Structure 1
Amino acid sequence: MAIGKLFIGRKVREIRQASSTTQAQFADMIGISTSYLNQIENNQRPVSATVLLSLAEKFGIDITELSSGQNDRLLSALTEALSDPLFETYSPGLQELKLITQNAPGMAHALIAAHQAYRRGNEQLASFDDRLGSAPAQEATPYDEVRDFFHFVDNYIHELDVAAEALAIELKLGEGENHAALTGCLEGRHGVRVVRGEAGDEAIRRFDPVGRILTVSRYASAPTRDFHIAVQIAQLHAAEKIDAVLKQASFRSDEAIEICRMGLHNYFAGALILPYRNFHQAARELRHDIELIAARFGASLEQVCHRLSTLQRPGLKGVPIFFARIDRAGNITKRHSAARLQFARFGAACPLWNAHQAFEMPGRINRQLAETPDGVRYLCIATQVSKGSVGFRAAQPRYALAFGCEISYADQFVYADDLDLSNRAAYDPIGISCRICERVTCTSRAVPPLKRKLVVDHRVRNPMPYEIE
């Protein structure tokens, strides 16, 4: 496999520091000179194939983890920020951006945060409402701060994932009827009894810490019911571990801490119901057929898709997939990508993406072969799901679940079996967001790209009312 020149000095330094060795000791372990190691760690020289193989052999490092670009999320966010006309006099090349994200990730995060503050300030000024001055534009909202936290930790929290898996093994989850095991855990270990809610109670879950009673909606589906029982187990069983994660995250407000605490409760619950190793093995055996995986674990399609996006355990990673949940207005309400495809932080998703078509075909799996402007090809899968309660008058919001992988992994997905992956004409051209998409002939474009000039010819009216220079 050709890997090209890899400048991964920061990663090599982290591996060395984790092994508590000096440069001389580490260099001796992997069979190179100390001066060569020093140059590698300072990104003055790329690593050779021999060094990569030695790292894999001595420290159990997955070469693909080193060579596949662990900084893709940060690189994508930085590229999008620098596409703003604010930086029109500065157009860094890809190699320069890679060096920044690899060598100075803190600086890259700081620049992204500054750009987000700038965008929020402009949006507030444009709104001309009474909120001006009441909310500081320079600060991220607590929700955005938490979203970025999960984004930049790969949507994988190792301490919680391992703890949840250990508990799942003790409870034998996935080997029988999960509901009995979960309720038995709450009652036997924490003295909490699970009861069904009253007919008029709209709460999905309600916990009485004094009476030690957990009330779950009588109308919740079995996967939803079990998930919320698992959330209660997370609150009682993993409180100390969750506090440690929150302390290390250093959020700026109590509101962000509590929002993240809720996210970590949900993370533990998902990892408990879908324990890592069993789920990872099932995904491979069933070739990522989300309906079969859901049936095996008694989970919902959304729970399965979300869990697939968290398979980032070192040494046992799953296929790098992207996952998003999108509402009918095109808002992305959940997002994560372990693949090179990254979702835009501002604006809607590309209208040519098959995620939007899922609403037209409820109950069906929609497939698409797609290619982004950088030439990377993907297998994209989308389906519609309904959430909420049951009943004629109950609100039932509908969402599209969209997930997929780079085409090099498509053979591990049942959805690719009868598709002509080698036919270039079979791939639809999609983008990340209109504001940063470089395609000049797309008739589905909502807004022009930010860093390109427009040319208007009043004598000719093409499908696009302007041309992009």
Structure 2
Amino acid sequence: MAQQKLYAGAKLREIRNQIGLTQKDFAAKLGVSLPYLNQMENNNRPLSTSVVLALAREFGLDVTELSAGDSERLVSDLREALADPLFANATPSLPDLRLVGANASGFARAFLDLHRAYRQAQEQLGALDDALGREDSSLRLSPWEEVRDFFHYCDNYIDAVDRAAEHFAAQAGTGQDITEHATATLARQKITLRMVRGAPLRRFDPASGILEISAKASHATQTFQLLHQVALLTQSDLLDATLDLARFQSDESRAIAKIGLANYFAGAALLPYRRFLSAAQSCRHDLETLADQFGASLEQVAHRLSTLQRPGAKGVPFFFVRVDQAGTITKRHSATRLQFARFGGACPLWNVHRAFETPGRFQRQLAETPDGVQYFCLSITISKGGGSFHAPVRRYALGLGCEIDHADALVYADGMDRAGGFDPIGISCRICEREDCHQRSVPPLERRLRVDHDHRHTLPYSME
């Protein structure tokens, strides 16, 4: 398969502006002509190998930062938004979208905000009778979507919070694990800790200083909730400063995001960056080994692996997703070129759905998306019990994977026959171009349909 060309004009201009060089001086440093540099900065030419090497040699650049991860996310989101029937007669080509994602990211995000507002307006019109007369019926983004996009475009890595959590974990004394350290920290804050069987996962009363943690929860969950409370009590200034920079549009969004940041701190303290990265590389990303070593759950480990994107010390770029039994994506992140649908569920051909057929067992899959990128995919089910016979049990499937070039770093890829073919998967039926998919739920909105009443194949239509 041909190597994908690297267009990174916006990043190239950003680097030049940061070091304060003119185009002429920058071109001389890179060993190229001024017109050639100009063409690269405007994405009329891809970055050559010699330019990438010169960036690393002359400026110490981590070349992985040139990858089009953010641009690819924008292009994927734009494609899905433009699949709306509203744009049926004015759909830009994929090359045009890539130019927008690479050179006009601010415009792309503004367009996505506008489309989200349009979708919400349509939903509000559907319930107009309920909305009339309410003071809060003004148009605004969904808080959940706004917070989701915040983490999505931060590459699910918040450097200041991550480093603060790593520093907190490093403060634990010799022989003291993170649970003991968290408990001692809370005690210094005059917090009384109680393990209560009838309590929710976590309940804190600021007036009395009493923190209740569910005694029915697993040890990993109890530790995570302790660390979450540590974040709220000892890292409040840092969390608020991060929220200030995010400029959320509503108090609800800010409140939800603060929970997300406290959760991020908890996960990063339980699985501190450098120690966890080293352990993951040593055991070749064996989730069960890592969970046992750090006293964490499989979900905590899989989620943490997808956040290891610290500049200069990046881990394997993973995608991570959690799916419920109805196929709804409840958590998602991708540091790879694979991007998940913003609306609706995941592709039914993906092995994350088959995980429910074999509870508790790892499922492996070699898959290929319509753009020709190949992936190694891993999935497993998890259950979260309610602590009693009549309590409901929540079941999810976790999906973790990477591009095939990184598969050898995973113990789970051992013995996989890559010559046996790759399963075709997509992002969403709305924007998938595959014509012969037997699991297609709806036709692609960018294609015109042809219906022949005298012939029927897998689908009742074909595409022009």
Tell me the TM-score normalized by structure 1: 0.92
Contact 2:69/2:336, CA 8 A, preserved across alignment:
no
Map 1:411-426 → 2, pairs under 5 A: 411-424=408-421
Tell me whether 1:297 sits opposite 2:294 in the alignment. Answer: yes
Contact 1:154/1:338, CA 8 A, preserved across alignment:
yes
Residue 349 of structure 1 aligns to a residue in which SS?
coil
2:373 equivalent among 376, 381, 406:
376
Structure 1 residues 68 and 38: alpha-carbon distance in aligned structure 2, compared to 1, 3 A threshold: closer
Identity of aligned residues (%): 54
Distance 1:268 1:183 in 2: 16
What's 1:465 paired with? Answer: 460
What's 1:110 paired with? Answer: 110
Structure 1 residues 440 and 123: alpha-carbon distance in aligned structure 2, compared to 1, 3 A threshold: farther
What's 1:196 paired with? Answer: 195
Q: Deviations over 1:420-460 (max 9, x none)?
A: 01322xx2211111111111122211111112222222223
What's 1:145 paired with? Answer: 146
Distance 2:386 2:187 in 1: 26
| Cα offset, 1:68, TM superposition | 5.2
Structure 1 residues 161 and 172: alpha-carbon distance in aligned structure 2, compared to 1, 3 A threshold: farther
Q: Deviations over 1:193-227 (max 9, x none)?
A: 32212x333x2111222333321111111000000
Question: Letter of the aligned partner of 1:468 in structure 2?
Answer: M
What's 1:157 paired with? Answer: 158
| Cα offset, 1:418, TM superposition | 1.1
Distance 1:318 1:133 in 2: 52
| Cα offset, 1:70, TM superposition | 3.9
Q: Deviations over 1:93-151 (max 9, x none)?
A: 33322221111101001111222222233344456763468565842111111111111
Distance 1:22 1:171 in 2: 49
What's 2:73 paired with? Answer: 73
Distance 2:264 2:336 in 1: 20
Structure 1 residues 191 and 68: alpha-carbon distance in aligned structure 2, compared to 1, 3 A threshold: same
What's 1:13 paired with? Answer: 13
| Cα offset, 1:371, TM superposition | 1.5
Residue 167 of structure 2 aligns to a residue in which SS?
helix
| Cα offset, 1:346, TM superposition | 1.4
Contact 1:74/1:108, CA 8 A, preserved across alignment:
yes
What's 1:343 paired with? Answer: 340
Tell me whether 1:314 sits opposite 2:315 in the alignment. Answer: no
Contact 1:117/1:137, CA 8 A, preserved across alignment:
no
Contact 1:388/1:397, CA 8 A, preserved across alignment:
yes
| Cα offset, 1:416, TM superposition | 0.9
Contact 1:234/1:268, CA 8 A, preserved across alignment:
yes
Tell me whether 1:407 sits opposite 2:407 in the alignment. Answer: no
What's 1:91 paired with? Answer: 91
Structure 1 residues 73 and 265: alpha-carbon distance in aligned structure 2, compared to 1, 3 A threshold: same
| Cα offset, 1:154, TM superposition | 0.5
Larger displacement relative to structure 2 (40-49 or 356-365): 40-49
Contact 2:305/2:318, CA 8 A, preserved across alignment:
yes
| Cα offset, 1:2, TM superposition | 7.9
Structure 2 unaligned regions, length at least 5? none
Structure 1 residues 137 and 341: alpha-carbon distance in aligned structure 2, compared to 1, 3 A threshold: farther
Structure 1 residues 351 and 40: alpha-carbon distance in aligned structure 2, compared to 1, 3 A threshold: closer
Contact 2:324/2:396, CA 8 A, preserved across alignment:
yes
Contact 1:71/1:101, CA 8 A, preserved across alignment:
yes
Contact 1:124/1:137, CA 8 A, preserved across alignment:
no
Residue 419 of structure 2 aligns to a residue in which SS?
coil
Structure 1 residues 44 and 445: alpha-carbon distance in aligned structure 2, compared to 1, 3 A threshold: closer
Larger displacement relative to structure 2 (148-157 or 372-381): 372-381
| Cα offset, 1:330, TM superposition | 0.9
Structure 1 residues 402 and 53: alpha-carbon distance in aligned structure 2, compared to 1, 3 A threshold: same
Tell me whether 1:326 sits opposite 2:327 in the alignment. Answer: no
**Please, what is the CA RMSD of the aligned residues?**
2.4
Tell me the TM-score normalized by structure 2: 0.92
Residue 287 of structure 1 aligns to a residue in which SS?
coil
Structure 1 residues 292 and 80: alpha-carbon distance in aligned structure 2, compared to 1, 3 A threshold: same
Distance 2:370 2:132 in 1: 38
| Cα offset, 1:45, TM superposition | 4.9
Residue 284 of structure 2 aligns to a residue in which SS?
coil
Structure 1 residues 4 and 215: alpha-carbon distance in aligned structure 2, compared to 1, 3 A threshold: closer
Map 1:153-232 → 2, pairs under 5 A: 153-171=154-172, 177-188=177-188, 190-197=189-196, 199-201=197-199, 203-232=200-229
What's 1:119 paired with? Answer: 119
Distance 1:463 1:33 in 2: 55
Question: Letter of the aligned partner of 2:405 in structure 1?
Answer: S
Contact 1:384/1:400, CA 8 A, preserved across alignment:
yes
Tell me whether 1:449 sits opposite 2:448 in the alignment. Answer: no
Question: Letter of the aligned partner of 2:418 in structure 1?
Answer: L
Q: Deviations over 1:353-409 (max 9, x none)?
A: 111111111111111111112222111111111124311122221111111111111
Distance 1:32 1:389 in 2: 64
Question: Letter of the aligned partner of 1:353 in structure 2?
Answer: W
| Cα offset, 1:262, TM superposition | 0.7
Distance 1:348 1:67 in 2: 27
| Cα offset, 1:22, TM superposition | 5.6
Structure 1 residues 217 and 27: alpha-carbon distance in aligned structure 2, compared to 1, 3 A threshold: same
- How many residues are treated as equivalent by the alignment? 463
Residue 248 of structure 2 aligns to a residue in which SS?
coil
Distance 1:313 1:382 in 2: 25
What's 1:356 paired with? Answer: 353
| Cα offset, 1:164, TM superposition | 1.0
2:241 equivalent among 240, 244, 259:
244
Distance 1:320 1:138 in 2: 37
